[in-house]
Amino acid sequence: MKEDRLSVLKRSKKDRIISREIIEKNLDNLVPYLSFFRYYPDIFIDMISAPDCNFGFFFYQRMFLRIVMRFKYVYVTFNRAFAKSFLSVMALYLRCIFYPGIKLFICAGGN
């Protein structure tokens, strides 16, 4: 898997450009991947991470991200250092990627 990522990174900049035409031409091939990544966003993050990246999810963070992406309303209460804010914002970014044109917001209590 890492060799595949490295070979993509070693390509020239011209070869890596994704145009609207390329996406429209390959849309039938992309739809199953988009559906899969909407359901498993943590795997999408794993795939787009650089080979030498130290970022990784704990199991419970993967589950939280999947739940947030699969359901319309989610209410959670976790302890400190769970990465609630980070994962919530990441889920918003991922929704913006997978659902173009969507309008989102976060509500949070404060002291």
User: What is the residue-wise DSSP string for 20-63?
Assistant: HHHHHHTHHHHHHHHHHHHH-HHHHHHHHS-TT------HHHHH
Give the least confident one: 12-16, 31-35, 53-57: 12-16
Residue 66: pLDDT band (50, 70, 90) is: very high
61 or 14, higher pLDDT: 61
Residue 10: pLDDT band (50, 70, 90) is: low
Say if CB 84 and CB 106 are below 8 A apart. Answer: no
Section 69-76 average pLDDT: 86
Q: Which pTM was predicted?
A: 0.69
Residue 51 is classified by DSSP as: T
User: Which of 81, 102, 80 shows the shortest CA–CA distance to 93?
Assistant: 102
Token pair for 99: 């659902």
At residue 30, the pLDDT reads: 84
Given a cut of 80, whether residue 54 has pLDDT beyond it is yes
68: Cβ–Cβ under 8 A, 6 or more apart, which residues? 74, 87, 88, 91
